[in-house]
Amino acid sequence: MKRARDWLHLLLPGDWAVMLLGAALVATSFALLWRGGSADRAVVRRDGQVVAELPLSAPKKVTIPGAIGDTIVEIQPGRARVLSDPGLHQYCVKQGWLSQAGAIAICAPNHVSLALKGSASSHDSLAY
């Protein structure tokens, strides 16, 4: 079995150039395409239905009744988070502050979700 270093002498300068160009293309496309942009509003859903659409311009706390209790969503300028939820594992609370368009925190046991929207979002819809 040959090791990688045994194959290095077979690579020509053009091969190295293609590999470097490919790596640069991947890095550039990742930086340009893997972002949701800035968010301007938070959309809160319960059972897939929109129950609140809030601007991210002013601080606010909203209580959303869910299947097993109340979920509290906190809004600060430019960001939002699930402050508390009655779910056992607290995954949506541990998600922390969301600030990019397309970011989502789902409180599945309580059937509540928080999604950020902006002028260019990467998600069209959300379903349980």
For 37-93, how does the pLDDT look when each residue is reduced to its tens digit (9 = 90+)?
A: 688 899 999 999 999 999 999 999 999 999 999 999 999 999 999 999 998 899 999
The pLDDT of 115-120, averaged and rounded, is 82
pLDDT at 116 over 80: yes
Both tokens of 123, joined, read 């998600």
The pLDDT of 97-111, averaged and rounded, is 92
Look at phi and psi of residue 58 and say left if phi exceeds 0, alpha if psi is from -120 to 50, else beta: beta
pLDDT band at 32 (very low <50, low <70, confident <90, very high): confident
Both tokens of 109, joined, read 């046991």
The pLDDT of 17-31, averaged and rounded, is 89
SS3 of 17, please? helix
Q: What is the pTM of this model?
A: 0.67
Q: Which of 73, 75, 69 has its CA nearest to residue 87? A: 69
Both tokens of 65, joined, read 């009744």
Q: For residues 104 and 114, is the Cβ–Cβ distance under 8 A? A: yes
pLDDT at 108 over 70: yes
SS3 of 41, please? strand
**pLDDT the model gives residue 6:** 80
Q: Tell me which of 56 and 123 has the higher pLDDT.
A: 56
pLDDT at 121 over 70: no
Q: For residues 107 and 90, is the Cβ–Cβ distance under 8 A? A: no
**pLDDT the model gives residue 29:** 84
**pLDDT the model gives residue 36:** 57
